[in-house]
């Protein structure tokens, strides 16, 4: 399998879907929004975009399965699986606020081997494949070289369904407010990850996530030198629902803060 060529083909497919989403955003009517569950918005744009991705990616690798947010297709887990978020940041899209993105990952067993995240509003195509460097619009990107929390800008995502860890989360925010250059909440996990990858953020953390929120961005971030873990410092960050991503210079301090605040062993 030529992963570089395959990644290029995925980027083309993702851009086509992103163009569709951008066009729909110009005249989008909020009355078409539905609620899958509390705070979980969906529209015809999400489902149509996902169908486009499934159809076109299916032609690239007919043998691959799919893990998708909107469940427009159902397949058993296979050796190769596409992990798709057709519109990461739906609430932003609905309210005409950047950022929102298309996120696609190809997994072989439990390893991500291709990652593509397209931030539509700024026309930013992030991508990487196994053993490559990470790219933004054809140029190599690297994580920040900052070495202290005091010099860092941190990204996060607010809990919107799972409030069980809310107090622990707020404890982290209080510490970061007092000891960093600031906090940002963009509303798109995939964008948060690739912005750590290109050094816009020094670190990012969130819980209550699904695999399609993070799978595409994880490989890009790793190939840019970002260190990634779950809140315990382990490797269960794709399907485990929690993630931290940090530039190397603050990783130890950042991980220790998360572990302590969330009472992780």
- 163: domain CATH number is 3.40.190.80
Query: Among residues 141, 163, 181, which one ends one of the domains?
Result: 141
Q: Say whether both 119 and 198 belong to one domain.
A: no
By percentage, how much of the chain surpasses pLDDT 90? Answer: 81
The mean pLDDT value of the chain amounts to 93
**What pLDDT band is residue 250 in, cutting at 50, 70 and 90?**
very high
Q: Say whether both 28 and 56 belong to one domain.
A: yes
- At 194 the three-state DSSP class reads helix
For the chain, how many structural domains are there in total?
Answer: 2
Q: Are 105 and 218 in contact (CB under 8 A)?
A: yes
Check residue 37 and give its pLDDT: 56
Q: Say whether both 10 and 99 belong to one domain.
A: yes
Highest mean pLDDT range out of 5-9, 32-36, 77-81, 88-92?
A: 5-9
Which 8-state DSSP code applies to residue 31? G
Q: Say whether both 66 and 113 belong to one domain.
A: yes
Give the range of the structural domain holding residue 110, as residue numbers without chain letter.
Answer: 3-141
Strand partners, 243: 206
Residue 40 has pLDDT above 70, yes or no: no
Q: Say whether both 11 and 132 belong to one domain.
A: yes
- Helix axes 3-25 and 44-60, enclosed angle (nearest 10): 160
pLDDT (tens digit per residue) in 200-218 = 999 999 999 999 999 999 9
The β-bridge relationship of strands 40-42 and 65-68 is unpaired
Q: Say whether both 135 and 13 belong to one domain.
A: yes
Q: Say whether both 14 and 127 belong to one domain.
A: yes
pLDDT (tens digit per residue) in 154-179 = 999 988 766 777 899 999 999 999 99
Tell me the average pLDDT across 28-37.
Answer: 71
Check residue 77 and give its pLDDT: 73
Residue 264 has pLDDT above 90, yes or no: no
The β-bridge relationship of strands 182-184 and 153-156 is parallel
Q: How far is CA 81 from CA 52, 114, 116, 228, in A?
A: 16, 11, 14, 21
For the chain, what's the residue count? Answer: 265
């Amino acid at each position: 399998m030529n992963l570089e060529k395959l990644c290029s083909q995925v980027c083309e497919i993702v851009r086509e879907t992103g163009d569709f989403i951008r066009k729909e955003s110009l005249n989008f009517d909020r009355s078409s929004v539905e609620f899958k569950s509390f705070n979980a918005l969906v529209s015809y744009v999400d489902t149509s975009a996902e169908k486009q991705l499934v159809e076109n990616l299916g032609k690239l690798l007919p043998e691959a399965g799919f893990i998708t947010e909107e469940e427009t297709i159902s397949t058993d887990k296979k050796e190769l699986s596409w992990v798709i978020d057709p519109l990461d940041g739906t609430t932003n899209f609905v309210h005409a606020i950047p950022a929102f993105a298309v996120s696609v990952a190809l997994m072989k067993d439990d390893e991500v081997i291709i990652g593509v995240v397209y931030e539509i509003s700024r026309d930013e195509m992030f991508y990487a494949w196994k053993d490559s460097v990470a790219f933004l619009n054809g140029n190599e990107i690297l994580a920040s070289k900052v070495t202290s929390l005091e010099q860092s800008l941190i990204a996060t995502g607010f809990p919107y369904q799972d409030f069980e860890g809310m107090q622990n989360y707020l404890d982290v925010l209080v510490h970061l407010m007092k000891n960093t250059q600031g906090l940002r909440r963009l509303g798109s996990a995939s964008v948060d990850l690739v912005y750590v990858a290109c050094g816009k953020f020094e670190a990012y953390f969130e819980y209550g996530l699904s695999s399609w929120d993070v799978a595409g961005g994880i490989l890009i971030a790793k190939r840019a030198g970002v260190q990634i873990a779950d809140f315990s410092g382990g490797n269960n960050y794709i399907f485990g629902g929690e993630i931290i991503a940090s530039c190397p210079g603050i990783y130890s301090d950042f991980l220790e803060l998360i572990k302590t605040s969330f009472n992780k062993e």
